[in-house]
Amino acid sequence: MKKSPRPLPQDNLFDSYYYGTLVPPDHELMQIDRRVDFGFIAAEMADCYAPRGGAGRPPLSPEMMLRFCFLKVYADLSDAELTAQAQYNLLYRQFLHLGGNELPPDSSSLTYFRRRLGAERLKACLDRVVAGAQQLGLVSHQRAHVDSTGIVADIAIPRLRGLVLEATAEGLAGLAQLGQGERAAPLQAEYEALAGDRLYWETKARRDAHVLACWALLQRLAAVYDELMDREGWTVAEEDVLLAQAALLEKVLQRREGRQGSAKRDLLVSTQDPDARYSNREQGKQPYAGYKEHVIEDDASGIITDVIVTPANVDDGTQLQELVAGHGAVAGQRPASVAADSKYLTGDNLEYLEQECIEGFIAVPAAKGEKQGKFTTADFAHDAAGDCVLCPAGQLAAGGKWDEARQGWTFYFRQGQCAGCPLRERCTTQKRGRTLFISRHRERLLQARALKDDPAHRAAQRRRLRQERTFSLQKRRHGLRRTRYRGLCRVRMGVYFSVLVVNLRRIVQQLVAAEAAGGAPQRLCAQAA
């Protein structure tokens, strides 16, 4: 016999009949409603509301607003679509605890609630849910997986000319806010002339001259902001405008400088979302502009125990240690083993896992030139005490140069050593001789490579692929393929809500399965983190 749904605060005698008859009690939303106490939001937002009994209209319940935000991500709806369906969809109305005569709040209330909630409080709510799952015995602490996925930014990617003109328009608008209309007038006229030129592309000479004029205008605008920043007497709001606009113009001007290396990877993509970045180029994958979601997931339950959101240009390997530490801080104990793909294979990560007594199962990529039968770093003997390297042909290179950034030594074989070597074709094509880098973590990396064919390692890598289901669920069902928000802080909140939905769904699925197997009914009460 099916259980009746939990009764709601009724406005009339017909609510119980309609909800009890027309809403299926075994629907996933009803299962979540019965087995999850959303009251934990009240403790996190206690300082955001005035004490009861004061003047003014009573606020909307934080629990109800959290249910709205949960349902928005669960059904992948916009704020307007959700509030519209909440007027007639009985399933949604019962989950939201709306009486028969009660109207849902306006869609703008959701915006105000998320702004008041903030990313930090929402992350604390996530931690409470994971801690509650730990108290129910749903987090095993045996195996965990670490991985990341890309999130496309909600922006149109302009060409370089468009980016320069967008930044110029933003800067001119900032001058208007600062009351500098006279300074902005000649620059505004020049901007309108350049933006209105539709024939600049007719010839190469005209196109080049047009682009140079756009850059020159942007540089003059940046000089105006530099001059204004030297003045005193600005209000706090005006200083915020000055700093924001100056930083934006500086980011765009970096494109003009043609910066190389790591600085080039941090170039601005769009003025509409200044935090979005291009992803690192990976073999076989198209780069995108946006963000990355880095997660650590419990193997047994599929519960995400910690999550980090970064711009897309952040290396995955730099997030492993923080994720593992976050898992331990929230779940109360660090996992016995961690599986990850080859992006996380760094000496620092292997050293960290060794120090924390965590068994690491990290995928090992093929060494450069290994498939072509070339010599790899493993084929060279390194004497750390003697500070020298011996090549497969018996040639010795001594006095390695320490590289602080890469944490290792660079050895150089002389041209005379490699010129007549019979193994040269398998070693190097450099005219000056072979250059070899030896990491200070060489032994750990070689050990990881030697264990890649171990049955336990292979089994861990197969289990790791389950995490792709999580990313697929977030993108197909919960709108994370392309973010609805702009800016790192808002994107972070969107990801947190997605993780909250995934975790609560999986927690309830396990509670339902345990009850069906004869266990006692249990409910998630995440009151204490």
pLDDT in tens, 59-110: 788 899 999 999 999 999 999 999 999 998 889 998 998 877 788 888 999 9
Residue in 142, 148, 139, 131 with CA at minimum distance from that of residue 338:
142
CB atoms within 10 A of CB 185: 12
Stretch among 101-115, 230-244, 304-318, 416-430 having the lowest mean pLDDT: 416-430
Highest mean pLDDT (candidates 75-79, 230-234, 263-267): 75-79
- Residue 121 is predicted with a pLDDT of 92
414: in domain: yes
The residue range of the domain holding 258 is 160-265
Q: Which two tokens stand for residue 50?
A: 């005035």
198: in domain: yes
What residues pair up with 295 in beta bridges, in sequence order?
147, 307
230: in domain: yes
395: in domain: yes
- Residue 436 is predicted with a pLDDT of 80
192: in domain: yes
Q: Label residue 16 by pLDDT band (50, 70, 90).
A: low
Contact 123, 306 (CB under 8 A): no
Residue in 379, 457, 442 with CA at minimum distance from that of residue 407:
442
Q: Label residue 29 by pLDDT band (50, 70, 90).
A: very high
Strands 396-398, 401-403: pairing kind: unpaired
Coarse DSSP helix, strand, coil percentages of the chain, rounded to the nearest 5 percent:
50, 10, 40
403: in domain: yes
Share of the chain above pLDDT 70, in %: 91
265, 295, 319 - which closes a domain: 265
394: in domain: yes
**Distance in angstroms (rounded) separating the CA atoms of residues 450 and 471:** 30
- Residue 386 is predicted with a pLDDT of 67
199, 233, 265 - which closes a domain: 265
Kindly report the pTM of this predicted structure. 0.85
- What is the total count of domains within the chain? 2
265, 299, 315 - which closes a domain: 265
Q: Label residue 10 by pLDDT band (50, 70, 90).
A: very low
**Measuring CA to CA, how many Å separate 392 from each of 366, 376, 445, 473, 520?**
19, 10, 20, 50, 66
- Residue 6 is predicted with a pLDDT of 47
Mean pLDDT of the chain: 85
98: in domain: no
